């Protein structure tokens, strides 16, 4: 297997498991199952179940992320070994799922505030936790 396909399998496994704990999970799962349906239809249902099991494992113990990613890297590498022609489609799927190209990643937050006297302003682009009395 050439180095490009190995790198693609590694990237796919890492990306897949990394997205399991995000809001993009359903879109990710659907994309991966659809990809498998086209590449190996007889395995698509099993892959869907394996994805769910992996997500449950990750939810139970986040320290297993690297191990789970390695498992998916192996599955994907075996698929690419048997069917190298699907590599381009897999790369397109990864490009679509990539957090850096998702609509949420390209959104920007602009905030403006002013405070006078003894007032305070708290701003955040995401979660904000204030613990002072």
Residue 47 in tokens: 């892959």
Cβ proximity of 87 and 2 under 8 Å: no
Per-residue pLDDT of the chain (133 residues; tens, 9 = 90+): 688 999 999 999 999 999 998 888 999 999 999 999 999 999 999 999 999 999 999 999 989 999 999 999 999 999 999 999 999 999 999 999 876 544 444 455 667 788 888 888 887 766 777 787 6
Spatial distance between the Cα atoms of 122 and 113, rounded to a whole number of angstroms: 9
Q: Mapping DSSP to helix (H, G, I), strand (E, B) and coil, where does residue 116 land?
A: coil
Q: What is the pLDDT of residue 89?
A: 95
Residue 1 in tokens: 């297997």
């Amino acid at each position: 297997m050439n180095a490009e396909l190995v790198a693609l399998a590694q990237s796919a496994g890492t990306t897949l498991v990394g997205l399991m704990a995000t809001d993009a999970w359903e879109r990710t799962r659907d994309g991966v199952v659809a990809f498998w349906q086209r590449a190996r239809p007889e395995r698509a249902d099993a892959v869907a179940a394996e994805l769910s099991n992996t997500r449950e494992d990750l939810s139970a113990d986040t320290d297993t992320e690297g191990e789970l990613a390695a498992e998916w890297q192996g599955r994907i590498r075996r698929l690419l070994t048997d069917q190298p022609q699907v590599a381009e489609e897999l790369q397109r799927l990864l490009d679509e799922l990539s957090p850096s190209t998702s609509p949420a990643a390209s959104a920007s937050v602009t905030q403006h505030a002013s405070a006078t006297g003894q007032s305070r302003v708290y701003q955040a682009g995401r979660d904000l936790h204030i613990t002072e009395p």
